[in-house]
Amino acid sequence: MNILMVLTSHDKLGDTGKKTGFWLEEFAAPYYVFKDAGATLTLASPLGGQPPLDPKSDAEDAQTAATERFKEDAEAQAALATTVKLNTVAASDFDAVFYPGGHGPLWDLAEDATSIALIEAMIAARKPVVAVCHAPGVLRHVKTADGKPLVQGRDVTGFTNTEEAAAGLTDVVPFLVEDMLKQHGGNYSKLGDWQAHVIVDGLLITGQNPASSEPAARELLKKLG
């Protein structure tokens, strides 16, 4: 079972002067779900090397069992520090791809031609694609074989407009995940802010927020059998 995890390389939160990146729990929780199931993991990012960590996800109130485990795990830290460049990986080498969120992907992975082509190739090869929280934003320009938006007519979820408002970043992000998914024809659903919510539609698995990252990873394992 070979799983690719794709992280952002983008660290600037718009014009705020603040830092962003990937959200620690959304990487750590799935990472250990996959590791503990015996999966072989490859970590990639557009620029390779150490992906930027959203400092807010490293705050005391954002810690979980998975993030604490990660902080004691030198092997996992070394793997994260040496992600391969996204343009060096091939869909044919993996059984599935998982995109952790954080705000970073809205700027780079959502517009990244390599990432878009990777997702299209995975879907064409009947391989699952998972994206949680802000990471469903990476589906923005992804098309089906007949040129339609991948999310059109599919059941999907992702970070909600009210969660973005609570984060105070509605006017900072390049687009709102909920709005984008709806505009592209997705059958978008959500639960209350910060509640775990995962939607499985065929090969596409999406999660609403950080709390959804571990259950989304477990849904992927079910899909891979």
- Does CATH place domain 2-224 in 3.40.50.880? yes
Per-residue tokens: 63: 């810690």
Q: In the predicted model, what is the mean pLDDT of the chain? A: 97
Alpha carbons within 13 A on the beta-carbon side of 12: 7
**pLDDT, tens only, 11-33:** 999 999 999 999 999 999 999 99
**pLDDT, tens only, 155-199:** 999 999 999 999 999 999 999 999 999 999 999 999 999 999 999
pTM: 0.98
pLDDT at position 19: 97
What are the CA-CA distances from residue 92 to residues 88, 122, 126, 208 (Å)?
12, 8, 11, 28
